[in-house]
Structure 1
Amino acid sequence: MIRCIVIEDQPPAQRILETYISDTPNLNRVGTFHDPLEALGFLKTEVIDLIFLDIHLPKISGLDFLTILPYKPAIILTTAFPDYALESYELDVVDYLLKPFPFQRYLKAVSKASQLLENSKSQAPSEAPSVKTDSFLLRSGHDLIRIDLGQLVYIKAGSDYCELHTIEKKYLSQEPLKTWNVKLDAKGFCQCHKSYLVGLVHIRKISGNQLYLNDGTLLPIGRAYKDKLLKGFIK
């Protein structure tokens, strides 16, 4: 049985997929999510084989969601827009369903996913590989850049983007600070201010309402974040 979830923010599209899945004997739907960040939290504790993923979602797009998965299930994209087909296949998805899609087209995509999962199981080593957790992927235009967590010093929120400051250079991301906070939770990062997220290993000292980083950077500390920051720094 293939364990799957649906990530879709439109109720009519949710209902169609749920009906299709219930009529597919080898699929077991274990969840439906309208919020991709909620789905991300679920995936950190549950192993899923297949995701039906919409592209246009609140907070973070489906394509960006693919870059922050803690592991890689089979992905079937569902969207009303054909523009993303090439980019989605570059991200190694199983299939791309253009809404509205009939049941037969859906079955074709599920068949491809089933075959892929079966092949993966037959070729898998006796011990499953560990998930790489010391780096993350950053989308920059059409590029995906892998950044080591140890290189990331802090993130600063702007009006329309975030600045990711690493030891070597600065990157820009369209994802909000809230999304980065979820991504880097429990990975040695802590929000110190409404506009800043900092790597705890890069803090040299805390003095009053300021952080002194190893590279000489000074960051502000917001009153609402100070207690959690101190606990993380001392730990």
Structure 2
Amino acid sequence: MTPTRINCIIIEDELPASILLEMHIAKFDFLDLKGKFMSTNNALNLLKIQKIDLLFLDINLPGKSGIEFAKSLPKDIGIIFTTANPHYAVEGFELEAIDYLLKPISFDRFSKAIQKYCKTQKTNQEFEQLSKAETERPFIFVKCERKTLKLYLDEIDYFESQGNYLLIHTEKDCFKTHQSITEMIEKLPEGIFYRIHRSFLITLKKVNQFSSRTVTIKNKVLPIGRLYASKTNDLLQSIQLKY
């Protein structure tokens, strides 16, 4: 079923990023762009007089930041954050944003974000069921041996690759599934988990301490791969400063 018409706006102070978003939006017939704004103050007037369903919201904006602005919005307005800074993704996810897009935004990644938004809308019975599921704690379904398990994201400590299998270490248990770490990354929301090694994918908020070479989650010391070291340490340092 084709989604109903979706009124959206762009709040972005970088002209190239704003133009790229507008080009992506134009490729979807059901997306109706109602305006482009360079700050949240300018967008407020339109939000007061017209029903807007979806915001493409930059985080680094003059005046009030995108994060601050999102906290003041009604819950029925969908938010897709856009930014060049990956360490903001954790807070964006906590605000129940639809998605978090890193600049420069490819059309393929933009399309996936729109698909996520459509699944939250009650356009048919399937979307209604998905919408109800998304009111629960975020989770994934994972096939372990002959069973499919529901695992809550906030209970996962880290993933560990072992050959053709992936170990999922949670707060209470460890589960084994037949898939690669790359396949798992594609199923997970961005910004909550981070790959620190070819064999390890961690939950950022579960990190107790870290050094230039290791990350500690609970009592488990995990290695940081040489190719991942620079970006991992930059990200962990930025989160440390933020919190």
- TM-score, normalization: structure 1? 0.50
- TM-score, normalization: structure 2? 0.48
